[in-house]
Structure formats: C-alpha cells, structure tokens
C-alpha cells in the first residue's frame, strides 16, 4: 500500500469514527430527554464515545507521522 493510499484509508477511518460518535451522542441525548432513562445504555454509550475519541487521536497522530515522512 502506498503512502497516499494509507493516508486516505486513515482519513476514511477517522471520518467513520467521527460519524459513530455523532450517532452515539444523538442516542445519549434522546435517552436523557425521554421519560424512561436507562443508565446502562447511557454509560455504555459514553464509554464507547471515549474509546472512539482515543482511537481517533491515535489515528490522527499516525496520520501526522505519515504526512511528515512524505
């Protein structure tokens, strides 16, 4: 895989993870507004969001490193 293809793949993965975070945030907000609040779902979603953000940070660091090697 060439550098450009690898950079593009990482950028696509970052976009996918950011979309997943957006959808999880929407779900958490919907649960918070609803009459029935399931704390388990909220906690799991927040954990998912935190791990996705960590993965995005790692991917962005990898992307910066690849662009610097260019």
pLDDT of residue 24: 84
Cα–Cα distance between 69 and 37 in angstroms, integer? 49
pLDDT of residue 45: 78
Neighbouring CB atoms inside 10 A of 45's CB total 19
Q: What is the total count of domains within the chain?
A: 1
- What does the mean pLDDT of the chain come to? 85
What does each of the 70 residues of the chain score in pLDDT, given as a tens digit? 788 899 999 999 999 999 999 988 888 777 777 755 566 667 777 888 899 999 999 999 999 998 888 6
Terminal-residue alpha carbon distance, the chain:
14
Cα–Cα distance between 46 and 1 in angstroms, integer? 35
24: containing domain: 3-69
Q: Please report, to the nearest 10 degrees, the dihedral formed by the alpha carbons of residues 24, 26, 27, 31 taken in order.
A: 140
């Amino acid at each position: 895989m060439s550098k450009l293809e690898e950079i593009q793949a990482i950028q696509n993965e970052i976009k996918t993870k950011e979309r997943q975070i957006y959808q999880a945030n929407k779900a958490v907000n919907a649960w918070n507004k609803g009459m029935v609040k399931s704390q388990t779902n909220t906690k799991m979603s927040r954990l998912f969001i935190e791990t996705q953000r960590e993965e995005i940070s790692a991917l962005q660091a990898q992307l910066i490193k690849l662009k610097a090697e260019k």
